[in-house]
């Protein structure tokens, strides 16, 4: 058990929450250096149920409830900030964050992407990899910046593309390596003695 208080982590999501569930399992381990203190969605995401079952606070910040994206982004930053996180994890969060989030949490916000960046950025990384006929794709964990999947790469793992793969089958295999990789990165970033700059995660 760490003598220090676990680092506070807020998770943002939009969907089923399988990645949030993986993080919650990790945070429940006795030696976990981090604690999920909130799960926040941009829609009424079914994945929030994982947090509710674990007794973790949830919130929904809907884009449609705000006059524009800037107002939504400011409210999202305010809601996330209310939980005082050391790290913000985008786990299947399907909206781009804006200047308010980047100003508040820049350098402390990470995201996963189902491709080996810088190849195949954007919303259809798995489909694009298949369309290009690549034999190897994978998953990346990046630091969030103002671009679309352009942030500093923190970790990557590869997945072989099979001849009979569909977008769904390939994405499922990518998730199987993406989730443990993200947990590993969150552990490293929240450990009392994180890796030095330039050290491999």
Helices 18-27 and 167-190, axial angle in degrees (round to 10) = 30
Q: What is the distance between the alpha carbons of residues 68 and 48, in angstroms, rounded to a whole number? A: 24
Q: Which two tokens stand for residue 61?
A: 């910040």
Q: Which two tokens stand for residue 112?
A: 């996963």
Question: Residue 194 has what DSSP assignment?
Answer: P
Q: Cis peptide before 118, with omega less than 30 degrees from 0?
A: yes
Q: How far apart, in whole angstroms, are the C-alpha atoms of residue 173 and residue 129?
A: 14
> Which residues participate in catalysis according to the annotation?
113
Exposed/middle/buried for residue 148 (C-beta within 10 Å: 0-12, 13-18, 19+): exposed
Interatomic CA distance for residues 64 and 54, integer angstroms: 28
- Matching residue, tokens 């409830």: 65
Q: What dihedral do alpha carbons 159, 164, 168, 171 form, nearest 10°?
A: 0
Residue 140: cis peptide before it, omega within 30 degrees of 0: no
């Amino acid at each position: 058990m760490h003598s220090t208080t676990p680092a506070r982590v807020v998770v943002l999501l939009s969907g089923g929450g399988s990645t949030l569930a993986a993080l919650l399992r990790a945070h429940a381990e006795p030696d976990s250096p981090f604690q999920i203190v909130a799960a926040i969605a941009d829609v009424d995401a079914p994945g929030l149920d994982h947090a509710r079952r674990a007794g973790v606070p949830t919130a929904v910040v809907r884009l449609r409830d705000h006059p524009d994206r800037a107002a939504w982004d400011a409210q999202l930053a305010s809601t996330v900030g209310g939980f005082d996180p050391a790290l913000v994890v985008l786990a299947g969060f399907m909206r781009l964050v804006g200047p308010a989030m980047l100003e508040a949490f820049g350098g402390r916000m990470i995201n996963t992407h189902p491709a080996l960046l810088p190849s195949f950025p954007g919303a259809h990384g798995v489909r694009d990899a298949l369309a290009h006929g690549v034999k190897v794709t994978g998953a990346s964990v990046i630091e969030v910046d103002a671009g679309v999947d352009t942030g500093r790469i923190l970790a990557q793992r590869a997945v072989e593309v099979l001849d009979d793969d569909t977008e769904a089958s390939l994405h499922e295999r990518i998730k199987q390596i993406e989730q443990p990789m993200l947990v590993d990165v969150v552990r490293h970033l929240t450990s009392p003695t994180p890796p030095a700059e330039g050290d491999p995660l």
